[in-house]
Amino acid sequence: MRKVSYLSRGLADDAVQCQACEHFCAIEVGASGRCGVRRNIDGELHLVVYGEPIAAHVDPIEKKPLFHFLPGGSVFSIGTFGCNFRCSFCQNWQMSQTRDFDDQRHIGQPFEPQAIVDLCVRDDIPMIAYTYNEPTVFFEYTYDTARLAHERGIKNIYVSNGYMSEAALNRIEPYLDAINVDLKAFDDGFYREQCGARLAPVKRNIAHIAQNTDVWIEVTTLLIPGLNDSEAEIQAMVEWLVSVDPDIPWHISAFHPDYKMLDRPPTPHTSLMRAYELGRQAGLRYVYMGNVADSERGSTRCPGCGRLLVQRDWYRVREVWRHRGVCPHCEQSIAGVWS
Ligand code: SF4
């Protein structure tokens, strides 16, 4: 299904410029932007995967991952084809990197925004996540759904690479409750070579969301052996995160060979541990390990007294102190959205 874009401007000769993400693609008639799902049709930019997710599941919120946002909650999760990054290590590449599809036919299951919201109301699902692939590339679908959800008191979540334009972020922000942003490395060369993007806009958006909005933010880094896991790079990354806000939860995720990056081993536990320690020593209050069986480093402890507040086992929440933002033992405030 097609929808005229909310974020574009006209150029000469019926070309259009997409303004959803920092690529700002100039797109000629009949062509698509880098993400493959925003197409110039007769001089108008269209999102061609509107209302047609190719994945729709109910997930635990911990899977996004968001650990400080309504823990233990269920979230209706949707994703489409397309992505504005070209990560050679993508773990969802069948969705994100598909470009060759016929948008004149149904390419996913029809699921209009109102139908998603109605389903969440009917089944008492309190949150919707735009995830699996980059939500910025299906912006209009997320925006329309989020507005309707917001009216019904349903929370909206982006799981994003953080490469949206300022215009896109400003437009979705009033309806966005939480976001997990991938900080894939702390080196612009990595972003250019591995993702076909740049680091600076991602840093700008993380800082803006954390410091100037009410959107709850957590950050995830996939540690890839030999590519982004040097001590110097991790140190610079965590120092920067602390300078933005030491209360941002930082998820360190283990790499597994996938897509085009099959020549590297899975992340050793020692690398994850070293990054974990660097994050804690730098002053991040909440550091977590993901994609590995380490219940201790996947659980939340009070940064004041060290007592256990949320116990997790993979994506399962074993125990949650209903502390409403305050440690029940020492009254230290715990950053996040708890009720
Ligand atoms: S969202 Fe897609 S079409 Fe728009 S600027 Fe980004 S990559 Fe280009």
Q: Which of 34, 39, 164 to mutate to test the pocket of ligand 1 (most atoms within 8 A of CB)?
A: 34
Tokens standing for 8?
A: 């574009």
Query: pLDDT means per 10 residues in the chain (339 residues)?
Result: 95 97 97 95 96 94 95 95 91 78 70 97 98 97 98 98 98 98 97 96 98 98 95 98 98 89 90 96 95 79 93 80 82 92
Tokens standing for 227?
A: 């590519």
Report which of 259, 263, 264 is spatially closest to residue 225, judged by C-alpha positions: 264
**Residue with CA at minimum distance from ligand 1 atom 2:** 35
Quick check: 328 and 321 in contact, CB under 8 A? yes
Q: How far is the centre of ligand 1, averaged over its atoms, from the C-alpha of 83 (Å)?
A: 8
Atom of ligand 1 nearest to the CA of 32: 3
Q: How far is the centre of ligand 1, averaged over its atoms, from the C-alpha of 136 (Å)?
A: 8
Q: How far is the centre of ligand 1, averaged over its atoms, from the C-alpha of 33 (Å)?
A: 5
Q: Which residues contact 201 (CB under 8 A, 6 or more apart)?
A: 22, 162, 163
What pTM was estimated for this model as a whole? Answer: 0.95
Going by their DSSP bridges, the two strands 216-223 and 178-182 should be labelled as parallel
Looking at the domain assignment, is residue 334 inside a domain?
A: no
The pLDDT of residue 259 is: 84
Say whether both 159 and 68 belong to one domain: yes
Measure the CA dihedral 38/164/191/224, to 10°.
Answer: -100
Say whether both 24 and 72 belong to one domain: no
Looking at the domain assignment, is residue 237 inside a domain?
A: yes
Looking at the domain assignment, is residue 204 inside a domain?
A: yes
Looking at the domain assignment, is residue 325 inside a domain?
A: no
Q: How far is the centre of ligand 1, averaged over its atoms, from the C-alpha of 17 (Å)?
A: 9
Number of neighbouring beta carbons within 10 Å of residue 106: 11
Q: How far is the centre of ligand 1, averaged over its atoms, from the C-alpha of 304 (Å)?
A: 43
Say whether both 31 and 136 belong to one domain: no
* CA atoms of 110 and 312, how far apart (whole Å): 35
Q: Which of 9, 16, 18, 47 to mutate to test the pocket of ligand 1 (most atoms within 8 A of CB)?
A: 18
* CA atoms of 154 and 169, how far apart (whole Å): 19
The pLDDT of residue 141 is: 98
The pLDDT of residue 93 is: 84
Quick check: 161 and 134 in contact, CB under 8 A? yes
Q: How far is the centre of ligand 1, averaged over its atoms, from the C-alpha of 95 (Å)?
A: 16
Say whether both 11 and 121 belong to one domain: no
Q: Which contiguous run of DSSP H or E holds residue 149?
A: helix 139-151
Cβ-based burial of 42 (10 A; exposed 0-12, middle 13-18, buried ≥19) = exposed
The residue range of the domain holding 76 is 55-320
Q: What is the DSSP letter of 73?
A: -
State how many domains the chain has: 2
Say whether both 191 and 314 belong to one domain: yes
Say whether both 76 and 42 belong to one domain: no
Say whether both 33 and 79 belong to one domain: no
* CA atoms of 104 and 86, how far apart (whole Å): 25
Q: How far is the centre of ligand 1, averaged over its atoms, from the C-alpha of 280 (Å)?
A: 36
Q: How far is the centre of ligand 1, averaged over its atoms, from the C-alpha of 74 (Å)?
A: 30
113-122 and 139-151 helices, crossing angle to 10°: 40
Say whether both 95 and 40 belong to one domain: no
Ligand 1 pocket, Cβ-based, cut-off 6 angstroms: 18, 20-21, 23-25, 33-35, 38, 84, 136-137
Quick check: 221 and 250 in contact, CB under 8 A? yes
Looking at the domain assignment, is residue 87 inside a domain?
A: yes
Atom of ligand 1 nearest to the CA of 136: 1
Atom of ligand 1 nearest to the CA of 163: 6
Looking at the domain assignment, is residue 338 inside a domain?
A: no
Going by their DSSP bridges, the two strands 38-41 and 44-47 should be labelled as antiparallel
**Residue with CA at minimum distance from ligand 1 atom 3:** 33
**Domain harbouring 311, CATH code:** 3.20.20.70
**Residue with CA at minimum distance from ligand 1 atom 6:** 21
Say whether both 205 and 313 belong to one domain: yes
Atom of ligand 1 nearest to the CA of 19: 5
Say whether both 109 and 196 belong to one domain: yes
Q: How far is the centre of ligand 1, averaged over its atoms, from the C-alpha of 316 (Å)?
A: 36
157 DSSP β-pair partners: 129, 178
164 DSSP β-pair partners: 21
Say whether both 259 and 282 belong to one domain: yes
Cis before 65 (ω within 30): yes
The pLDDT of residue 48 is: 93
Cβ-based burial of 105 (10 A; exposed 0-12, middle 13-18, buried ≥19) = exposed
Say whether both 60 and 175 belong to one domain: yes
Q: Which of 21, 103, 169 to mutate to test the pocket of ligand 1 (most atoms within 8 A of CB)?
A: 21
Looking at the domain assignment, is residue 201 inside a domain?
A: yes
Quick check: 227 and 88 in contact, CB under 8 A? no
Distance linking the first and last C-alpha atoms of the chain: 37
* CA atoms of 31 and 24, how far apart (whole Å): 14
Looking at the domain assignment, is residue 266 inside a domain?
A: yes
